[in-house]
Amino acid sequence: MASIRIIKGRLYYVFYYKGVKCTEKTSLEAAKENVKRAEKFTNLIQAEIDNGIFQYEKHFPHGAKIALFTSKKEDLPFNQYFADWMEGKVLKETTRRNWTSAFWKHLYPFFKDRVISTITRADVRRFQRSLTEKGLEPSTINDKPMKVLRMMLNQAYVDEIIPKNPALAVKRLPQGMTDVDPFNLEERDAVIEGFQRYASLYAPYVVCGFWTGWRPNEACALKWSRVDFQQGKILIREGRVLGQTGIPKSSGSLRDIDVLDPVHQALLAQKAVSWMVGTYVFLDRKQKPLNQEIFRQKIWEPMLKRLNVRYRPPYQMRHTFATLAISAGENVNWVARMLGHKSPVVTLEKYNRYIPNLTRADGKALLGMGKMGKRFPMEEIFSQENH
């Protein structure tokens, strides 16, 4: 039977597999709660062994007995290794699309059919430099093609195709913080009024974007079951990208945000449009869940041009909410909670130049700014027929 041993204050898993005794070190200290976790894992190991489905390399890819239980995988051409590697990955559809796109757009044109074991550290550096020379942003290089390459080479190392990962010594490119380029008060009000006048179907979506601080993918995934009118809360539990709804990568993004008065009125107006149609709050003209990229291209960009407002992507509605709230004196803890930041430190670092003082924590200071706070025209705005 699989069991636990404590050696010098650390927990070890002990089990027999194919007649071989295995003693595998964990990173857990011998605390009571860790022992319970370890016991559950040993029960899983034993159950898999008993049922003939245990895979040593799955649970212990760097285990002491890895050479005994896994055969060395074949050295393959770069593109074939990528295909085999991806086949064994359990990924969200959007992640799979992004990685595949990064491979065929950037990685394959550079490495082509090179055998994976021939790729050197110098090759990785040249590849990184070639992306820089193409004008790609450091964040794009780090988080897309280079990320995929690092993971591929790490798997090749685990598979013992290569003696070490040549990408480990290649540092990530330094990158600045994401540009914060918010709309000012007059621009915000002009955009809201423009949507009410020329594209009222999307006006509630825009009002909520400016007054919640949510991300566009969170808005597109919002369902009526997540809107609590009685408690004045919106429950952010999902995101929607490329037509796929899923759980956000960061647990901090899962949050309950306060419904300020403009949002309440906007949602009441939206309720008359989509409540009886289906699950999602925000729909397009075809009564399908709103696609943020199509909205940006077909609705948002032409609207800003028509209003003579300098173009910024819809994501800047989130930054606008944050900067106006902070400038109004809202408590940074409240702003961080609305935005879904893991701590107020993140908010302070991102928006520090907009912080005059730290006083309020209820949205009232923000409501006092601009036309929609001083005279509240939401009933007028949304009483007109959507067209």
Q: What string of pLDDT tens digits covers the 387 residues of the chain?
A: 889 999 888 899 999 998 889 999 888 888 888 898 899 999 999 999 998 888 888 888 778 887 777 655 667 889 999 998 998 887 878 888 899 999 999 999 999 989 998 999 999 999 999 999 998 888 889 989 999 999 999 999 888 888 889 998 899 988 665 578 999 999 999 999 999 999 999 999 999 999 999 999 999 999 999 999 999 999 999 888 777 777 876 777 899 999 999 999 999 999 999 999 889 999 999 999 999 889 999 999 999 999 999 999 999 999 999 999 998 889 999 999 999 998 999 998 888 887 764 445 567 667 776 655 544 455 554 555 444
Backbone angles phi, psi at 52, to 5 degrees: 70, 25
In a domain, 165, yes or no: no
* Residue 357 and residue 326 in one domain: yes
Tokens linked to 78: 């770069």
CB–CB of 124/173 below 8 Å? no
Q: What gap in Å lies between CA 91 and CA 103, rounded to an integer?
A: 16
Closest to 267 measured CA to CA, from 214, 194, 320: 214
Tokens of 235: 């429950």
* Residues 60 and 85 occupy one common structural domain: no
Measured from the Cβ of residue 219, the count of other Cβ atoms closer than 10 Å reads 26
For residue 348, the 8-state DSSP code is H
Report yes or no on 275 lying in a domain.
Answer: yes
- Can you read off the two tokens belonging to residue 326? 């902070």
Tell me, what amino acid is at 243?
Answer: G
CATH number, position 130? 1.10.150
Q: Which pair of tokens denotes residue 318?
A: 């989130």
The SS3 of residue 74 is coil
pLDDT tens per residue across span 74-128: 678 899 999 989 988 878 788 888 999 999 999 999 999 899 989 999 999 999 9
Examine residue 105 and state whether it is found in any structural domain, yes or no.
yes
Q: Is the pTM of this model over 0.75?
A: no
> Which range of residues forms the domain containing residue 44?
3-69
Spatial strand order in the sheet of 227-228: 227-228, 233-236, 255-258
Residues 190 and 123 in one domain: no
| C-alpha span between 99 and 49 (Å, rounded) | 34
Please check whether residues 270 and 213 belong to one and the same domain. Answer: yes
